[in-house]
Structure 1
Amino acid sequence: MQRILVDQQKITTVMQNDVTPADLHPREARIALESFALTANNVTYAASGFAIGYWQFFPSGIAGQGIVPVWGVGKVVESRNEALAVGTRLYGFYPMAETLVITPEVSSRGNVTDVASHRSQLPAVYNRYVPVGDTTPDQDHIRALLQPLLATSYLLSDWLEDNSYFGAKQVIIGSASSKTGLGLCKYLAEAKGRGFKIVGLTSERNRSFVQGLGACDQVLSYDEITQLAHAPSVYVDMAGNAAVKAALHKHLAEDLKHSAAVGISHWDAFNPSVELDGVKPEFFFAPAQIAKRRKEWGAGEIDRRITDAFMRLAREASDWLTVTVHSGLSAAPQVYAGLAEGTADPCEGHVIRLV
């Protein structure tokens, strides 16, 4: 069984590794991956692997080497669990590898949860797998590329609304060219009675891309932070670039009412020890907002709203997203490295197809 290992201390160092598949124990099932997406989200998983626990989902058994989680679709090829039949296709959280062994628990609605002991203390949203039936490869690719990111975008917009936007007159999105940043801009633009301006921050290289999408009221490059209006503001940071964050905090000072840390796509410029002016950044953890809404609305409602929000933007994806499909797991290291090194084009979406 082939898998991709990432150096946990130097996350641009990637290698392919071969291991002998373990025999199934009673109640277990083996899933063969059909395809998975690679995005900046996976770089954040690696960069925050220890802090948030992403290395724990799929332990490699090799000190210093981790398996980065990915979102994709797989098919059950072997089962010792009567509740999960061979041939079932499941969308969810997988290792960057050819197969995954799970201990499935199947709900009355057919949804599958991996109840393996090493995942029991990890966020439940990552342990759930959804049957997808006979979807097409194109449908699988768009779902794997966009649903996890746009789910985070939607949850961010819901959380901001839940907090009355912290009284902000402008919401500033760092790394607005990222798919999560783009989604947040679009969902914020839908806000009823919107009383705030949406400002996208991005690199000069990606400025025209963000402007062309029409989701922001203003687009600034990172070296134009001093052009931000002095008004009550919220900063939602997808990049984790310490210098950018320090400059924004210094410029806005007391006008910055909340600073949310979401991603670390600029992982090589991340430095949490940098002292910042004004409010202290707080980490936004999407599973916590899901858990809050499940408690308030019931389990099905938040899932329905996330799906509806994803579908709205997915229908527009062909207008701005070019999906590039790479054949075989051996293609994954180069694609992942390009994302980790920041050379990927925001107009492209990368999928690794194994079958």
Structure 2
Amino acid sequence: MRTPDNWDLLVNRSGTGDFELRPAPDRPLGPGEIRLAVEKFGLSMNNVTYARLGDSALPFWNAFPAPEGYGRVPVWGFAHVEESRRPGIAAGRRYFGYLPMSSGFTLSAEPAGHGLLDTSGVRDFLHVWYRTYRNAPAEDELDDRRALLWPLFPASAVLNDYLRRTGAHGADTVVVTSASSKTAIGMAELLAGNGRFRTVGVTADKPFAAALNRYDEVVSYDELDALAGGGGSAVLVDFTGDAKRLAALYDVLAGRLVYTALVGYTHPDARLEPPELPGPEPEIFFTPAYEEETARAEGPAAYRRRYAAAEERFVRGSAEWLRMSAGTGPDAAAAVFRSLLAGEPGPSAGHVLRP
């Protein structure tokens, strides 16, 4: 079957990873609307999380409506304005932001700060962070890495700021699950050499995480007993969202834990709601809210400069450990998503897709 020029890639919401390609609806733009043509987007466990939690209290399936029983997986990537009926937003302008897994889409928009703001009513339920599209530079040799890492690094940076500002709640150890994930790596890179607390990475791929030299210590999930009996207090930063792994860590860190942040949901059994644990009660760490707090305290311009410099270092430095691969077309996108759903790609793999 020939791929239509304009298409939507729909996934069966049953969680089987079955995709269906359909022609995208075509209609004239209304006043205040723009049409974005998708150039490329990254695919990672972050996008699998959007699908797994699509019907949760954060209903990601509602961001880009689809026919009954199907969903359009949200992704992050680059797009340019193909057509505009919004004064102040010119055709040809390039942006980075929240997109459907489609060849393009139409939205209501208005110029805002350093980019544009999606004002479409259907996405009003999303935090403004998801509806803001930043001005994007022309494509260069780092473009694919940016497409993959730009949406992941905010949590890395904000966690670093939070832990440094709070002194890790007085703890001398920060334990990080899913330590081979890209967001965890970014955070560990920023925390390295902080001089106040050590970082311990917990991962299913110990050789990879240890070779990064970003953590003071790395243990596998089979070695959690190595964390028991140590002195001093600890903070837990969890990227798995898995109740069993959290319970096991609470057990080995009993009496030492002073704070737990729930940040990610990389495990297939992850749930948005925090599990019942003996204390401290886990806190869902919502990155946009903490970022706003940091920017207000530091000043928006100063924060943006500092953040941009750290982001660029992380993107460039990822060449040491992240091997990028590129694909084209909806079939390639579906294949990568299914492989992520099955947990197949290793932590050193990065995927970027073009329509």
Q: Given the two structures, how large is their TM-score scaled by the length of structure 2?
A: 0.92
Task: Confirm or deny that 1:81 pairs with 2:86.
Answer: yes
Partner of residue 124 from structure 1, selected from 107, 124, 128: 128
CA contact (8 A) 2:274 2:282 kept: no
Gaps of 5+ in 2: 1-5
1:252 and 1:101, CA in 2 relative to 1: closer, same or farther beyond 3 A? Answer: same
CA apart distance, 1:110:
4.9
> Any residues of structure 2 matched to 1:161-200 within 5 Å, and which?
161-191=164-194, 194-200=195-201
1:122 and 1:272, CA in 2 relative to 1: closer, same or farther beyond 3 A? Answer: closer
SS of 2:29 mapped into structure 1: coil
CA contact (8 A) 2:9 2:101 kept: yes
Task: Confirm or deny that 1:34 pairs with 2:11.
Answer: no
SS of 1:350 mapped into structure 2: strand
CA contact (8 A) 1:7 1:64 kept: yes
CA apart distance, 1:299:
2.9
Runs of at least 4 residues off by over 4 Å = 269-274
2-side partners of 1:90 and 1:80: how far apart?
A: 17
1-side partners of 2:284 and 2:114: how far apart?
A: 33
2-side partners of 1:66 and 1:101: how far apart?
A: 17
The percent identity for this pair of structures is: 36
CA apart distance, 1:52:
1.9
CA apart distance, 1:12:
3.5
1:293 and 1:63, CA in 2 relative to 1: closer, same or farther beyond 3 A? Answer: same
2-side partners of 1:332 and 1:5: how far apart?
A: 11
CA contact (8 A) 2:80 2:95 kept: yes
Task: Confirm or deny that 1:22 pairs with 2:4.
Answer: no
> Any residues of structure 2 matched to 1:298-313 within 5 Å, and which?
298-313=299-314
CA contact (8 A) 1:37 1:70 kept: yes
Corresponding letter in the other structure for 2:82? V
Partner of residue 103 from structure 1, selected from 102, 108, 111: 108
Corresponding letter in the other structure for 2:248? A
SS of 1:90 mapped into structure 2: strand
CA contact (8 A) 2:158 2:287 kept: yes
1-side partners of 2:214 and 2:222: how far apart?
A: 21
Q: Given the two structures, how large is their TM-score scaled by the length of structure 1?
A: 0.92
Matched with 1:328 is 329
CA apart distance, 1:134:
2.2
Matched with 1:149 is 152
Corresponding letter in the other structure for 1:258? Y
Corresponding letter in the other structure for 2:91? V
CA contact (8 A) 1:15 1:333 kept: no
2-side partners of 1:274 and 1:81: how far apart?
A: 46
2-side partners of 1:167 and 1:12: how far apart?
A: 44
CA apart distance, 1:88:
1.0
1:63 and 1:299, CA in 2 relative to 1: closer, same or farther beyond 3 A? Answer: farther
Task: Confirm or deny that 1:51 pairs with 2:52.
Answer: no
2-side partners of 1:297 and 1:224: how far apart?
A: 40
Deviations 1:33-87 (A, max 9, x none): 0100001111122222222232232222x23322221111111111111211111
Partner of residue 69 from structure 2, selected from 64, 79, 82: 64
- CA RMSD, 1 decimal: 1.9
CA contact (8 A) 2:37 2:80 kept: yes
2-side partners of 1:336 and 1:110: how far apart?
A: 31
Deviations 1:203-245 (A, max 9, x none): 1xx2111111100111000011111135311111111122211
Matched with 2:3 is none
Matched with 1:343 is 344
Matched with 2:216 is 217
1:318 and 1:271, CA in 2 relative to 1: closer, same or farther beyond 3 A? Answer: closer
Gaps of 5+ in 1: none
Which structure features the higher share of helix residues?
Answer: 1
1:123 and 1:271, CA in 2 relative to 1: closer, same or farther beyond 3 A? Answer: closer
Equivalent pairs counted in the alignment come to 347
SS of 1:266 mapped into structure 2: coil
2-side partners of 1:17 and 1:251: how far apart?
A: 50
> Any residues of structure 2 matched to 1:266-281 within 5 Å, and which?
266-268=267-269, 270=271, 275-281=276-282
1:230 and 1:271, CA in 2 relative to 1: closer, same or farther beyond 3 A? Answer: farther
CA apart distance, 1:270:
4.5
CA apart distance, 1:311:
1.0
Matched with 1:244 is 245
CA contact (8 A) 1:32 1:100 kept: yes
Matched with 1:285 is 286
